[in-house]
């Protein structure tokens, strides 16, 4: 298995890629599935501390699944929350 740093990088790459390919005008079903994905990630993420942080963040700031731009910005904002906790530079959203 990946160590926590590798897992984090791979997970962010996946989430940013999902957002980049998410439909500009998603169907209702696509919006529901995107929300389910992030909810599941908050329940199943292999790192317990990261999982708890993600779950709390998703609960406080639900995924914005109404468009590609909204989801991409939401993922970027969530990434910046983690970067701030880790003392890393923020990205431009």
Which residues touch 10 (CB under 8 Å, ≥6 apart)?
Answer: 2
Confidence class for position 13, pLDDT limits 50, 70, 90: very high
pLDDT band, very low/low/confident/very high, at 50 (cuts 50, 70, 90):
very high
Domain 4-86 of CATH type 1.20.120.310: yes
| Residue 86 burial (C-beta neighbours within 10 Å; 0-12, 13-18, 19+) | exposed
Domain boundaries, the chain: 4-86
CA distances to 1, 5, 35, 82, 93 from 65, rounded to whole Å, are 30, 27, 7, 20, 16
- Gap between the Cα atoms of 1 and 29, Å rounded: 32
pLDDT digits (tens, 9 = 90+) for 57-69: 999 999 999 999 9
Residue 5: closest CA among 62, 39, 50: 50
Whole-model pTM?
Answer: 0.94
Q: What is the pLDDT of residue 27?
A: 98
């Amino acid at each position: 298995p990946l160590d926590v740093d590798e897992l984090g990088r791979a997970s962010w790459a996946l989430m940013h890629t999902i957002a980049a390919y998410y439909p500009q005008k998603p169907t209702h079903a696509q919006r529901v599935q995107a929300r389910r994905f992030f909810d599941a990630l908050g329940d199943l993420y292999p790192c317990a501390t990261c999982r708890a942080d993600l779950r709390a963040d998703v609960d406080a700031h639900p995924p914005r699944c109404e468009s590609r731009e909204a989801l991409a910005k939401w993922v970027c904002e969530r990434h910046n929350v983690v970067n701030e906790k880790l003392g890393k530079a923020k990205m431009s959203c």
